[in-house]
Amino acid sequence: MRTSELGRLHSRQASLERASGNMDKVQRQLSTGRKITVASDDAAGSALALGHRRNINFENQMRRNLETGRAVLNAGEAALGSGTDLLQRARELTVNAASGTLSQSDRIVVALEIDQIIAGLAQLGNTQFGGAYLFSGHQSNAPAYAVTGNPPTAVTYQGDTGQRLRRVSEQDTVAVNVPGVEAFASIFDDLIALRDDLNGAAPASAINAHLTTIDDGLERMIAARAAMGARANRFETAQSVSEQRNVGLQELRSSIEEIDLPSTIVEFTAAQNALEAALGAIGRTSGMTLLDFLR
């Protein structure tokens, strides 16, 4: 084919443009570490990557919810654990007092200890976590229990039965609280009545009757504690499942968005060779005319 000066110039320019454009692209990928910087680099891939990113964000938030939720549950569980210990002690004292071997002055000492237990339980009922009262339901800005009198004549629940639900997965929401009325129930009234009976020299049988209510209270508290513990365990498992899922999602995302280093370096070398070849060919041929060979 006949060639012309301009034609040769254009084809050289075109081949140089292609070679250097190709190298530029690979170089940019290498320096950013990314295959996709705008959606047109891979339209379908970018839609997938955005979907993975959404899921990664969501999973991250779910893990945060689980993590902080577990801390709340643990705090509640610990409070109810101490409460259970206190109630056990109250039960022991009641069993002793009901045996009828105690003098009235001994009974008054027991009554004083019951007062301490009531105060201790009220304090546990008012456990705070992150500024919120754990057992107040939705009334989390106010202490769950208000104690009247010293020694206490009444312990009043100021909270409600609200459940503090949070999302822990695409499908599930779980409460991280147990309202005080559920965990403590009528324990305070029962203990106050017990104390009054102890102080008022009630017969042993009457003291004995309090065992039933204390046992009821214990049972409820243990149940509430177990429920919180079970949820905390469930959160822990869910957290590690989510972490694994996150690893998978991150891999998927990076396989779409990011370059594979070894193969990109090979690509870069190939592009570099192509550019060098184009430059070399131009360098060797461009100066050549018939004039070089005419005398």
Partner 1 sequence: MALSIGLDSAVKALRAHQVVVDTAAHNIANANTPGFSRQRVLLRPIGISGSNYFGRDALIGRVGFGVDAHDVNRVRDVFLDFQARQTLGSKAQWDTHAKALGKTEVAFAEPSDSGISEMLGQFWSAWHDVVNDPESSAARTTIVNAATTLSGRIRTAAQGLVVERADLDRQVAGTAERINSAAGEIAGLNFQIKQVELSGDVANDLRDRRDLLLDDLSKIAQISYAEQADKTVTVYLGSHELVQSNQARTVAAIPDLANPGMRKLIFEIDSEDVTTTSGELRALLDARDVDIPGMRTKLDQLASGLINATNALHSTGFGLDGSTGLAFFTGVGAVDMDVNAVVAAAPQKVAAASGAGLPGDGSNALRIADLQSSLAMAAGTQTFDQYYANMVSVFGADVKRSEGQAESSGLLVDHIESLRESVKGVNIDEEVTNLNQAQKAYQAAARVISVIDEMLDTLINRTAV
Site residues (CB under 8 A) for partner 1, limited to 182-241:
none
Q: Using CB under 8 A, pick the residue from 16, 20, 30, 50 that binds partner 1.
A: 50
Provide the pairing of β-strand 132-133 with 128-129. Answer: antiparallel
Dump the DSSP string for 137-202.
TT-TTS-SEEEETTTTSEEEE-------EEE-SSS-EEE----HHHHTTTHHHHHHHHHHHHHTT-
Under rule CB under 8 A, residue 173 binds partner 1: yes
Under rule CB under 8 A, residue 281 binds partner 1: no
Q: Using CB under 8 A, pick the residue from 3, 31, 101, 205 that binds partner 1.
A: 3
Q: Using CB under 8 A, pick the residue from 12, 16, 27, 58 that binds partner 1.
A: 58
Site residues (CB under 8 A) for partner 1, limited to 242-261:
253, 257
Choices 48-56, 85-93, 101-109, 268-276 (CB under 8 A): range interacting with partner 1: 48-56
Task: Kindly give, in sequence order, each residue whose CB lies less than 8 Å from that of residue 34, ignoring residues fewer than 6 positions away.
Answer: 257, 258, 259
User: Considering beta carbons, is residue 133 or 184 the nearer one to partner 1?
Assistant: 133
- Pair of tokens at residue 141: 């800005």
Residues 132 and 138 sit within 8 Å (Cβ to Cβ): no
Choices 148-156, 164-172, 226-234, 277-285 (CB under 8 A): range interacting with partner 1: 164-172
Q: How far is the CB of 198 from partner 1 (least distance, A)?
A: 37
Site residues (CB under 8 A) for partner 1, limited to 88-147:
130-133, 136-141
User: Considering beta carbons, is residue 173 or 269 the nearer one to partner 1?
Assistant: 173
The torsion angles phi and psi of 154, rounded to 5 degrees, stand at: -155, 140
Under rule CB under 8 A, residue 49 binds partner 1: yes
**SS3 of residue 136 by DSSP:** coil
Q: How far is the CB of 194 from partner 1 (least distance, A)?
A: 32
Q: How far is the CB of 290 from partner 1 (least distance, A)?
A: 4
Provide the pairing of β-strand 132-133 with 145-148. Answer: unpaired
Residues 36 and 45 sit within 8 Å (Cβ to Cβ): yes
The torsion angles phi and psi of 268, rounded to 5 degrees, stand at: -65, -45
User: Considering beta carbons, is residue 44 or 105 the nearer one to partner 1?
Assistant: 44
In Å, how far are 36, 59, 258 from 254, measured between CA atoms? 10, 16, 5
Provide the pairing of β-strand 128-129 with 154-157. Answer: unpaired
Query: Rule CB under 8 A: which residues touch partner 1?
Result: 1-7, 9-11, 14, 36-44, 46-47, 49-51, 53-54, 57-58, 60-61, 64-65, 68-69, 130-133, 136-141, 160, 162, 164-167, 170, 173, 177, 253, 257, 289-291, 294
